[in-house]
Amino acid sequence: MAFPFFTGDDRESLVLAELDVQNRDISDADRARKYAKMAKSAYRFFRGTAHLYWRDHWNDWRHHRFGGVFDSQTWLQGDAHVYNFGAYGDDRQGVHYGMDDFDDAFIGDYQYDLWRQAISMVLDADENAELSTKKTRRAIRHFLSAYLDTVEDHADGRSADDIHVKYIKKPIGPFMREVLAEEGVAEQLAKWTVMKDGQRVFDTEYKKLAALSASERSELLKALAEEYPATLQPGSIEGRDASHFAVKDVARRVNAGTGSLGVARYYALVQGASDSPDDDIILDIKSQQRPSAYPYMSTADRRKWRKSFKHEAERHAHAFIALADHADEYLGWLTLGDNHFSVRQRSPYKEDFPTDDIEGFKEYRRLSRQWGRILAREHIRGAHALRADDPGCFCRAVTALTGDTREAFKQQVVTLAMDYAEQVRRDHAVFLAHRAGHRD
């Protein structure tokens, strides 16, 4: 007997359908550039398909073993992976190593960030650090131990401000010294701008910038002048002349990122502290979408989400304030048409850490422990923002959920990371085969 249908979809069809849905609204040119980046490696593919991670892991039964309760929730980074750690900061507040991207941040169970970071470590250790499977497992365990130790140490509810990253030893020490020596305001301005008739303007001949039409320019300048100042945090404008935020030029930012490639983005050049063109500030203006996890939330949770935030740029600002180790005085938002954009300072010291420069397991292990401390710091800070009445509740909950079963907890994360990294490799192979077929 012939049956008319089979239930469900095979994995190959699912992956290709998800890619089509998630990227249908970007231009053909941006989609081609994004897919070219994702084709380079399984890790690049993982970075460009956060939606697959959330589809596969949202409400996974395993997160109830060591979480899944009210107090195990905090603000999450939402897109945790190795290359979302890097240098950031400015000359006023110093230069730091940590996480500084909160586009996908949302409130959820702490394990989602740990799982995603661990999966990225498997892919990165294979692609860049060239570690054996055994050593990769050990690195993940060190990452988890550092995270749990830091959380347990703050069960008394004290601030996360005492959690510091050490910049002396390899591999972070030499990296940070190189960033400080080679990056800065002058270098940033030289990269993105040119002097024209005595005025500094964006270099729209540069491959990562493009000029705006007259109407686009007018709309953006109006939003920067009228809406943006009202969204700045209290104290950002105090003591500053209005000319501090005077906009000198605007441009479109193109070819940025992997997962976010194709998302509308602009740069604005503002005057800053003086009339000198040598201390101008670049503002990063980025369209904020709903986090990749949003479609997989329950109808009730999505309804609560929409009631909590007027729009995604406001959600981004709340997340930034809750999670960031150092405040951004230029944090705010603006609206262009139906889209809401975050506004923040582009760090003159923005630089990803090149894990392919790591020399052996010892350095990777040391870096893994720093990742654990940094992620714990963010989660602790995020929980404080959500529960100011009981700032230690998150740390106590996680410690209670994992305290007597740490070994089982770590084994679960390591196994999940190894298994899912293999699935990412298979999904990437499907993606490559599909691309090859379409080129023939």
- Cβ within 8 Å of residue 248, ≥6 positions away: 199, 200, 201, 269, 270, 271, 280
Residue 356 domain-assigned?
no
Contact assessment for residue 336 and residue 342, using Cβ atoms and an 8 Å cutoff: no
- Tell whether 257 and 137 lie within a shared domain: no
The answer on 328 and 425 residing in a single domain is no
Co-location of 198 and 81 in the same domain? no
Domain membership of residue 367 (yes or no) is yes
In a domain, 372, yes or no: yes
d(CA 346, CA 377): 23
Clarify whether residues 16 and 113 are in a common domain: yes
| Boundary of a domain, candidates 345, 378, 413 | 345
pLDDT over 90 for what percent of the chain?
78
Instruction: Name the residue range of residue 412's domain.
Output: 11-180+362-439
Kindly report the CA angle at 175 between 342 and 351, in degrees rounded to 5?
A: 20
25 and 138 share a domain?
A: yes
Query: Could you report the per-residue pLDDT of 267-302, keeping only the tens digit for each?
Result: 999 998 888 888 899 999 999 999 999 999 999 999
Of the candidates 294, 316, 331, 257, which has an alpha carbon nearest to the alpha carbon of residue 81? 257
How many Å apart are CA 152 and CA 398, to the nearest integer?
8
Domain count, the chain: 2
> CA gyration radius for the chain?
22
For residue 123, how many other CB atoms are within 10 A of its CB? 26
Answer with the one of 345, 377, 401 that is the final residue of a domain.
345
**Under DSSP, is residue 44 helix (H, G, I), strand (E, B) or coil?**
helix
Confidence of residue 8 (pLDDT cuts 50, 70, 90): low
Is residue 176, in this structure, part of any structural domain at all? Answer: yes
Average pLDDT over residues 90-113: 91
pLDDT, the chain, mean: 92
Does residue 264 lie in a domain region? yes
- In this predicted structure, what is the pLDDT of residue 3? 55
End-to-end distance of the chain based on CA atoms, in angstroms? 37
Same-domain pairing of 301 and 232: yes
Confidence of residue 164 (pLDDT cuts 50, 70, 90): confident
The reply to whether 169 and 123 lie within a common domain is yes
Q: Are 154 and 23 members of one domain?
A: yes
Residue 75 has pLDDT above 70, yes or no: yes
| SS3 state of residue 150 | helix
* 354 inside domain: no
Q: Do 337 and 383 sit in the same domain of this protein?
A: no
The answer on 334 and 195 residing in a single domain is yes
Q: Do the bridges between strand 351-352 and strand 209-210 make them parallel or antiparallel, or are there none, so unpaired?
A: unpaired
Please say whether the dihedral angle defined by the alpha carbons of residues 149, 155, 158 and 160, taken in this order, is positive or negative: positive
pLDDT at residue 432, rounded to an integer: 97
- The pLDDT value recorded for residue 440 is 47
Please indicate, yes or no, whether residues 19 and 56 belong to a single structural domain of this protein. Answer: yes
pLDDT at 9: 66
Q: Regarding predicted confidence, which is higher, 79 or 91?
A: 79
pLDDT exceeding 70 applies to what percent of the chain? 97
Residue 94 placed within a domain: yes
Task: Let me know whether 134 and 98 are in one domain.
Answer: yes
Domain boundary among the residues 345, 374, 404 is at 345
